[in-house]
A and B are shown apart, each in its own frame.
Chain A
């Protein structure tokens, strides 16, 4: 069975979703991410959805789950590259994805993760 590849990018993990996901693939991704966050001590998870033309409540739930689990494991999740048509549809659908941070692209997403880590480091130094 295909699994979505997870790449290490600095202190974060990068997932690029390119296929129309079915349930088994989504569950596998959640599992893989969870184990890799722990294995690498990752501080952030970047989920690139720029290839997705459709995000429905199923994918939305997957993103929320990943964000929630990552948070418990002390990692920030940033969803990047959402297409305008998808954003407009999600808003109409009522999916707020409030537990998930977003950024325009991978670069910005990384910057977001790093800046929040710096914030925490600064707090620790007080």
Chain B
């Protein structure tokens, strides 16, 4: 791409800003950018103007090398715009429209300029097309990446939520694990459990694996890690909810669980109570009035 086309375009953009921006805004409005009210016209106008300046700056020194240093400010701007649009809930198309809808106004401005020869007209038109397409694609890419980041964050939140730590009683925590226990999840589980041990002053943590479908060597290792970590914090673990098949798998794998295990959470809780010197007792006496009335009515026996 010869320097003259980009120089012509740069001059065109610089001289005709006052016509380009309103035309461009109009197209964006028609595409529905302002409809949802997520962004005001004033904001859109200032974004459009700023981008136009950055575009011109890129054209002046960087030709159409969109990936080059001359376009870094423009790319950074688009990156920020695209990320914020992604967070605001705009669709990918709506976001890319910001760039793509600039084509028409640029073509119009070009056609209105009578000082450009027909031969140059074709070349500059081509320059505009290449430039806008590349920048539009860049916007789309950044948008995609932002969406991926949101998904990752949500995944992590789901992981945390799906392994709640429940306080069963003073000093006794329960950790029901639902689903598979991969290494990423184990990290989250451990952090969560240990923090609860500190916050609640727990001495016993019951890890219930009723909801864990299969236990392979890795899962067993992850469980052991969690148990070891809790031990280092002074808390003992009991594993509950081991189904018969899992018990067999563990033995066949040769894994030494080295921790007390109980079939059900209830059994584990009973053990935990005993260890913390507690017991559950039935309340013996009825209310005084009732018992008097009862014994009056039941003279001589039940």
**Contact between chain A and chain B defined by CB under 8 Å:** yes
Report B-chain residues with C-beta under 8 Å of the C-beta of A97: 232
Within 8 A of B (CB), among A68-111: 80, 82, 84, 86-88, 90-92, 96-97, 102-104, 108-109
* Minimal Cβ-Cβ distance residue in B for A100: B232
Report A-chain residues with C-beta under 8 Å of the C-beta of B197: 84, 104
Interface of A is mostly: helix
* Minimal Cβ-Cβ distance residue in B for A78: B234
In the bound complex, do residue B228 and residue A84 qualify as a contact, i.e. CB atoms below 8 Å apart?
no
Give the distance to chain B from A39, nearest Cβ to Cβ, in Å: 28
In the bound complex, do residue A102 and residue B198 qualify as a contact, i.e. CB atoms below 8 Å apart?
no
Give the distance to chain B from A36, nearest Cβ to Cβ, in Å: 24
Q: Which of A87, A97, A104 has the most CB of B within 10 A?
A: A87
B235 within 8 A of A: yes
In the bound complex, do residue A91 and residue B233 qualify as a contact, i.e. CB atoms below 8 Å apart?
no
Q: Which of A80, A88, A90, A102 has the most CB of B within 10 A?
A: A88
Q: Which of A84, A104, A108, A109 has the most CB of B within 10 A?
A: A84
Complex alpha-carbon distance, A116 and B190, angstroms: 29
In the bound complex, do residue A102 and residue B229 qualify as a contact, i.e. CB atoms below 8 Å apart?
no
Interface flags for B197-233 (1: CB within 8 Å of A; 0: not) read: 1100101000000000000000000000100111111
A80/B198 contact (C-beta < 8 A), A87-B229, A88-B187, A91-B228 known: no
In the bound complex, do residue A91 and residue B225 qualify as a contact, i.e. CB atoms below 8 Å apart?
yes
In the bound complex, do residue A84 and residue B195 qualify as a contact, i.e. CB atoms below 8 Å apart?
yes
In the bound complex, do residue A87 and residue B232 qualify as a contact, i.e. CB atoms below 8 Å apart?
yes
In the bound complex, do residue A104 and residue B235 qualify as a contact, i.e. CB atoms below 8 Å apart?
yes
B134 within 8 A of A: no
In the bound complex, do residue A102 and residue B201 qualify as a contact, i.e. CB atoms below 8 Å apart?
no
Q: Which of B190, B191, B228, B235 has the most CB of A within 10 A?
A: B228
In the bound complex, do residue A88 and residue B190 qualify as a contact, i.e. CB atoms below 8 Å apart?
yes
Interface of B is mostly: helix
Report B-chain residues with C-beta under 8 Å of the C-beta of A104: 197-198, 201, 203, 233-235
Report B-chain residues with C-beta under 8 Å of the C-beta of A96: 228
In the bound complex, do residue A88 and residue B234 qualify as a contact, i.e. CB atoms below 8 Å apart?
no
B174 within 8 A of A: no
Complex alpha-carbon distance, A40 and B163, angstroms: 47
Give the distance to chain A from B5, nearest Cβ to Cβ, in Å: 58
B194 within 8 A of A: yes
Interface size class of A (residues with CB under 8 A): 10 to 19
A102/B234 contact (C-beta < 8 A), A84-B191, A84-B195, A88-B187 known: yes
Q: Which of A82, A102, A104 has the most CB of B within 10 A?
A: A104
| Residue in A87, A92, A102 whose CB lies within 8 Å of B194 | A87
Report B-chain residues with C-beta under 8 Å of the C-beta of A87: 194, 229-230, 232-233
Complex alpha-carbon distance, A30 and B229, angstroms: 25
Complex alpha-carbon distance, A97 and B232, angstroms: 8
Complex alpha-carbon distance, A96 and B231, angstroms: 10
In the bound complex, do residue B234 and residue A108 qualify as a contact, i.e. CB atoms below 8 Å apart?
yes
Within 8 A of B (CB), among A47-70: none
Complex alpha-carbon distance, A85 and B198, angstroms: 12
* Minimal Cβ-Cβ distance residue in A for B200: A104
Q: Beyond A91-B190, A102-B233: 16 further Cβ-contacts under 8 Å?
A: A82-B233, A84-B194, A84-B195, A84-B233, A86-B232, A87-B230, A88-B191, A88-B194, A88-B229, A90-B229, A91-B228, A97-B232, A104-B198, A104-B201, A104-B234, A108-B203
Query: What are 30 A-to-B residue pairs whose CB atoms are below 8 Å?
Result: A82-B232, A82-B233, A84-B191, A84-B194, A84-B198, A84-B229, A87-B230, A88-B187, A88-B190, A88-B191, A88-B194, A90-B229, A91-B190, A91-B225, A91-B229, A91-B232, A96-B228, A97-B232, A102-B231, A102-B232, A102-B233, A103-B234, A104-B197, A104-B201, A104-B203, A104-B233, A104-B235, A108-B203, A108-B234, A109-B234
> What are the 6 A-B residue pairs with the smallest beta carbon separation, nearest first?
A84-B194, A103-B234, A87-B232, A104-B234, A87-B229, A91-B229
